Structure 1
């Protein structure tokens, strides 16, 4: 199939492009490289350095691409940035989305897949949260994800555009940067590899549902199947891990420890997070395959190895 991946040079997007190319699909990547890396894009994918806000240029790519499927991974993903710059956050995460959605409608794309987030649920401690839990975002980033989901659902209701909304928990893995909700794994790994102090915002007992990036890729590829019904799916492990526990696991792998300081919790951050993945297991026939220790070990040694080269 002909597939477009926006944000395909980014952390999750580049892994997704790898999986799609290896499955035999023709893949086009659009990325403005604000946080993505050109060298992470598979050499068999067609790459355009472009912002999704450039609608005319994007329309030309759609006109030439005859895309069957569009994966929308391009986004502003930093919660603190969204709290300080809500307009810029909304411009990319909502107006950029609308550019892509409208072109999908105009050019007859068969299915649209969207990377949403656990941030839509807000600070709800009744974990694990299922897809029908109340949407109560505590950050502008989370608010843009809720708004985006509503637009996608309306494009389905009004124009018949099939979709899958994947609410990722905290994604981690190779190629990760400090951006995104799983960025703490990169930040800790990078600091430990360099012997620098770690700063934990809050008391460290806040929990996250860490999911390995290659399991997220598998979920996306399951959801793109024409037999997968349009809907919203949590993509997660259903397991809570505290930030303090994450720190200790990485200390164990590195066989070292660095100084740790604690700072005031950041505005917009949630305290507990774990998502119920039963619907994805049942409907998409997907389940996470990578245990946390295995995934963290691979991720830590990836970053530690980069420091040695």
Structure 2
């Protein structure tokens, strides 16, 4: 499929639509006039009104999901696990993420659809001293999570070579913003807001000087939209801020905006935590003209605004509209 053809698609399917990225992407796609199908194991009230909802799991996808994917841009956001140092869940990761994805690729390889796979901008690269990591950097994952993500990337590439499967891969750094939950263990910004505001200790693994690339969620959804429309088939694109910040700096920013001093407890460093991870975003900028519109400070302020409204128990209709416009 050519880039010109992909621009004509106004039908989208989100796999994993009830997650943090999925909710925000669904809202962005609806605002852009897409015929939208949301697929997840459970529904959420945060999906846009008028979205088609299909519930199920990727291991045994319902037939109506396969029908919905035909002619659509399919955003694959599903991941049933999170990075850990252990390998005890490796078999489950392979079955529920890798094998399920390959089965779906096999079932749809002759369909007319375009895939955007959400990979990991951190775990697939592993340890490195590079100031910024480009897409050509060696891939040496140090967790089962990153290994599975990379394996899925490789299968997308294989199906592209064998069958002309139309796909792009987005290696996303550390997204944050509205609708992120601290419960799943992957949202540091969300966890810091909850813990610091409640006066609970903030546990930091290591010395707090690990550097990460934090990118605001609206910038992520804009990048995914552009990749779905104009990304080069078979290519991989980093999606991040291109700027590194330490964990301690992030704690200080959120403490300042809340007006609460954080109680920090240091724990031994984990084997799955790389020392530095900042993405080089030159490729997506050069090819698609994308750059993040929000700095970390701006994104944290907007996230705090949403967090405050959530703490008050919900948003009135006008407030929702104003907040959406502000974001």
Partner in structure 2 of residue 297 of structure 1: 301
**In the alignment, what sits opposite 2:320?**
none
Deviations 1:255-286 (CA, angstroms, capped at 9, x unpaired): 11131101112231211110100000011221
Offset of 1:229 from its aligned partner? 4.2
What is residue 9 of structure 1 aligned with on the other side? 18
State whether structure 2 residue 21 is matched by structure 1 residue 18. Answer: no
CA distance in 2, matches of 1:95, 1:244: 38
The alignment status of 1:256 with 2:265, answered yes or no, reads: no
Q: Distance in 1 between matches of 2:274 and 2:184?
A: 14
Give me the whole-angstrom Cα distance separating, in 2, the residues matched to 1:39 and 1:61. 20
Map of 1:1-309 to 2, 5 A cutoff?
A: 1-33=10-42, 38-55=44-61, 57=62, 59-63=63-67, 66-80=70-84, 83-109=87-113, 111-118=114-121, 119-178=123-182, 183-226=187-230, 228-309=232-313
> Alpha carbon RMSD of aligned pairs, Å?
1.8
**Corresponding residue SS for 1:222:** helix
TM norm structure 1: 0.92
Q: CA deviation at 1:208?
A: 0.5
Q: Deviations over 1:136-188 (max 9, x none)?
A: 00000000011011000111110101111000011111111236785111111
- Which 5+ residue runs of structure 2 have no aligned equivalent? 1-9, 314-327
Task: Out of 172-181 and 134-143, give the one that drifted further.
Answer: 172-181
1:302 Cα deviation from its structure 2 partner = 2.1
CA distance in 2 between counterparts of 1:129 and 1:259 reads 33
After superposition, the C-alpha distances for 1:50-77 in whole angstroms (9 at most, x for unaligned) are 111113x1x3322255332111001124
- Greater shift in the superposed pair: 171-180 or 194-203: 171-180
- DSSP 3-state at the match of 2:229: coil
| Helix, strand or coil at the partner of 2:129 | coil
Q: Contact 2:204–2:264 (CA<8 Å) still a contact in 1?
A: yes
Q: Is the 8 A contact 1:139 1:269 kept in 2?
A: no
CA–CA distance in structure 1, aligned partners of residues 21 and 182 of structure 2: 13
Structure 1: which 5+ residue stretches go unaligned?
none
**Residue 37 of structure 2: SS of its match in structure 1?**
strand
Change in CA separation of 1:81 and 1:4 when aligned onto 2, cut-off 3 Å = farther
Displacement of 1:9 in angstroms is 1.2
